């Protein structure tokens, strides 16, 4: 199946729920959504990938793009499937992002 992208923003947390397959054909759409999200003041980008069944290196390049745009951005990868975890480990991305089983939630505003 192609890729379905559902973006949302809550406070300073941007989220992209990705369903389907992320490859060279679908990557530009993801990059466009991230570019749009980063026009807002975000501290965190949460990639919800529980239903992402395939991710090529194009997905990794998107993560690099986001970090180069905003070096202080914390990137979370939530519930990746095992083959995608393997890709993240092989390429050194696993320790550079926050891989977790649950959504980090929204940051409480600090007064």
Partner 1 sequence: MTERSFEGTLDSLEPIRDYVAEQAAEAGMDRSPIYKLCLAVDEIATNIVIHGYEEAGLSGDIIVQIIASPDAFEVQLWDHARPYDPNLHEQQSDTGLDLPLEDRRIGGLGILLAKDSVDKLDYVSTPEGNVHSFTMLLKQAGTASNGSEAT
Q: Which residues bind partner 1 (CB under 8 A)?
A: 1-2, 21, 23-25, 54, 56-58, 60-61, 63-65, 67-68, 71, 75, 82-83, 86-87, 90-93, 96-97
Least CB distance from residue 105 to partner 1, whole Å? 23
Q: Which is nearer to partner 1, 23 or 33 (CB)?
A: 23
Q: Are 66 and 73 in contact (CB under 8 A)?
A: yes
Report the residue number, 11 or 19, with the smaller CB distance to partner 1.
Answer: 19
Q: Which CB, 71 or 108, lies closer to partner 1?
A: 71
- Closer residue to partner 1, CB minimum distance, 68 or 102: 68
User: Which tokens is 49 given?
Assistant: 């990938």
Kind of pairing between the strands at 74-78 and 13-22: unpaired
State in angstroms the smallest separation of the CB of 54 from partner 1: 7
Give the separation between CA 109 and CA 111, rounded to whole angstroms: 6
Closest CA relative to residue 45, chosen from 57, 36, 56: 36
Q: What is the C-alpha separation between 9 and 30, in angstroms, rounded?
A: 15
């Amino acid at each position: 199946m192609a890729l379905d992208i559902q973006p949302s923003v809550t406070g300073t947390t941007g989220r992209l729920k990705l369903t389907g397959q992320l490859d060279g054909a679908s990557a530009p759409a993801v990059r466009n959504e991230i570019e749009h999200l980063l026009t807002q003041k975000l501290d965190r980008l949460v990639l919800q990938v529980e239903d992402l069944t395939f991710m090529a290196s194009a997905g990794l390049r998107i993560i690099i793009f986001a970090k180069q745009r905003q070096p202080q951005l914390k990137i979370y990868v939530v519930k990746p499937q095992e083959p995608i975890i393997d890709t993240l480990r092989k390429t050194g991305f696993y320790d550079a992002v926050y891989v977790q089983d649950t959504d980090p939630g929204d940051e409480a505003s600090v007064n």
